[in-house]
Amino acid sequence: QIPTEQWAQVVEKKGGPVSYKKIPVPTCGPDEVLVNIKYSGVCHTDLHAMMGDWPLPTKMPLVGGHEGAGIVVARGELVKDIEIGDYAGIKWLNGSCAACYYCRQADEPLCGEPQLSGYTVDGSFQQYCIGKAAQVAHIPKECSLEAIAPILCAGLTVYKALKESGARPGQFVAVVGAGGGLGSLAIQYGKAMGLHVIAVDGGQDKGQHCLDLGATAYVDFTTSKDLVSEVKQASGEDGLGPHAVLVLAASEKPFQQASEYVRSRGTIVCIGLPANAYLKAPVFDTVTRMINIKGSYVGNRQDTAEAIEFYRRGLIKSTHKTVGLSELQSVFKLMEEGKITGRYVVDTSR
Ligand code: 8ID
Ligand code: ZN
Ligand code: ZN
């Protein structure tokens, strides 16, 4: 049965660290479900949240995490479309107002009064987590909860971003930050969508990892003498540059650089959220080369279902490493040092 206490990782002050301790199990309201989280992915956003990197305050104390996969153990009296025992996912958008201009047209991530898991409400770095029933991800029973966890933010976000990029099958897309959590999935979703993926990241290990996942080329930003021409050379016979660029890096420089190698009429999709960063591109080139620069932010419920379906069909493999929830702080340390290839998943039972 549902215990009254549970293990959680709690951020008690800006900058961290997280502390592993017992806290009460929350109870769900009428439109909510309680999910027994088995596994949670660790997204770079969780580190930004703990460090207070963004111009949006978090709740405090805070239980982070928004790639939580588990089992529904309780539901409020208004909840009809998900059963006790079903697999469910806690994603970044925990809930939205459902009534505003954006929510009315299924653009819920743009809602002005959202509940954000692991940011404005407690997230999945605990054994029992609340989700608004309308927004929890429905996970098919045949899927591994451990492997699917990273799909709930990283997979969803890159799948949506690839759609927003407008790139069509046979075209080239550069993925910047390709060896990280979002990037490892972007390579695979891109490939599954018929795109050629040019992976950009740093170091030989990440390079091998990107090529193993199906990237057509790897450009190492830490050693390349001329990154712009290397990316262009990798973009097919004409060498005009990739049709789209997904900028996933948690640093500012690649956001400034993408306009130098994107193909004319191409699209730069900004996804990474480095602290205090600004976009900069020459107006002259942006105009005369007709460059599109846009943002992409998670995805809606339909995008979630589609991203999960790609995984269920076996088109995407998870490249996660699993450690205990108790080891979360050491995962953050590796993340800060840029040493993570793929994604870490935490097991809430240890
Ligand atoms: O909805 C959204 N827009 C959304 C959703 C989820 C995550 C945005 N994000 C944001 C996160 O908050 C974070 O800022 O996307 C960013 C990437 O998240 P992640 O994939 O979880 O981070 P990671 O695993 O640390 O990977 C980042 C990679 O970027 C590389 C690093 O080497 C790492 O592999 N990188 C960096 I830092 N600078 C680079 C550069 N100049 C670079 N790669 C290429 N060139
Ligand atoms: Zn995330
Ligand atoms: Zn709304």
pLDDT reading at 329 higher than 90: yes
CB 281 within 8 A of CB 256: yes
Query: Which residue segment(s) compose the domain that 309 sits in?
Result: 5-153+299-347
Confidence of residue 235 (pLDDT cuts 50, 70, 90): very high
Minimum-distance ligand 1 atom for the alpha carbon of 43: 21
- What residues does the ion ligand 2 have nearby, CB within 5 Å? 43, 45, 153
Minimum-distance ligand 1 atom for the alpha carbon of 184: 20
Question: How far is the centre of ligand 3, averaged over its atoms, from the C-alpha of 99 (Å)?
Answer: 5
Residues 286 and 191 in one domain: yes
Question: How far is the centre of ligand 2, averaged over its atoms, from the C-alpha of 296 (Å)?
Answer: 13
Minimum-distance ligand 1 atom for the alpha carbon of 202: 32
Question: How far is the centre of ligand 2, averaged over its atoms, from the C-alpha of 297 (Å)?
Answer: 10
Residues 276 and 304 in one domain: no
With the most atoms of ligand 1 within 8 angstroms of its CB, the residue from 107, 108, 182, 269 to mutate is 182
For residue 318, the model assigns a pLDDT of 87
Confidence of residue 208 (pLDDT cuts 50, 70, 90): very high
Q: Whose CA is nearest to atom 39 of ligand 1?
A: 249
pLDDT in tens, 99-109: 999 999 999 99
Q: Give the mean model confidence (pLDDT) for residues 3-9.
A: 98
Q: Give the mean model confidence (pLDDT) for residues 287-305.
A: 98
CA torsion through residues 74, 77, 83, 88, sign: negative
Confidence of residue 269 (pLDDT cuts 50, 70, 90): very high
Residues 268 and 186 in one domain: yes
Q: What are the φ and ψ backbone dihedral angles of 323, each rounded to 5 degrees?
A: -135, 170
Residues 94 and 105 in one domain: yes
CA torsion through residues 82, 83, 86, 89, sign: positive
Q: Which of 177-181, 283-287, 318-322 has the lowest mean pLDDT?
A: 318-322
Q: Whose CA is nearest to atom 26 of ligand 1?
A: 180
**Among 255, 280, 295, where does a domain finish?**
295
Residues 163 and 258 in one domain: yes
Tell me the two tokens of residue 94. Answer: 């925990």
Residues 128 and 162 in one domain: no
pLDDT in tens, 46-91: 999 999 999 999 999 999 999 999 999 999 999 999 999 999 999 9
Q: Whose CA is nearest to atom 36 of ligand 1?
A: 249
Beta-strand relationship, 196-201 and 137-139:
unpaired
At 162, which helix (H) or strand (E)? helix 154-165
Percent of the chain predicted with pLDDT > 70: 100
Percent of the chain predicted with pLDDT > 90: 99
Whole-angstrom CA distances from 63 to 120, 324, 346 are 10, 16, 14
For residue 129, the model assigns a pLDDT of 98
For residue 20, the model assigns a pLDDT of 98
Q: Is the peptide bond before 242 cis (omega within 30 degrees of 0)?
A: no
Q: What is the mean pLDDT of the chain?
A: 98
Question: How far is the centre of ligand 3, averaged over its atoms, from the C-alpha of 109 (Å)?
Answer: 8
Q: Which of 57-61, 171-175, 317-321 has the lowest mean pLDDT?
A: 317-321
Residues 12 and 87 in one domain: yes
Residues 269 and 131 in one domain: no
Minimum-distance ligand 1 atom for the alpha carbon of 341: 34
Minimum-distance ligand 1 atom for the alpha carbon of 297: 1
Residues 216 and 343 in one domain: no
Residues 205 and 189 in one domain: yes
Question: How far is the centre of ligand 1, averaged over its atoms, from the C-alpha of 276 (Å)?
Answer: 15
pLDDT reading at 174 higher than 90: yes
Q: Whose CA is nearest to atom 34 of ligand 1?
A: 180
Residues 163 and 280 in one domain: yes
Tell me the two tokens of residue 281. Answer: 């591109």
Number of domains in the chain: 2
Residue 264 belongs to domain with CATH number: 3.40.50.720
- What residues does the ion ligand 3 have nearby, CB within 5 Å? 96-97, 100, 103, 111
Minimum-distance ligand 1 atom for the alpha carbon of 48: 12
Please list every protein residue whose CB sits less than 6 Å from any atom of ligand 1.
43-45, 48, 153, 157, 176-177, 179-183, 200-202, 221, 248-251, 253-254, 271-274, 296-298, 335, 338, 340
pLDDT reading at 220 higher than 90: yes
Q: Give the mean model confidence (pLDDT) for residues 124-146.
A: 98
Residue 67 belongs to domain with CATH number: 3.90.180.10
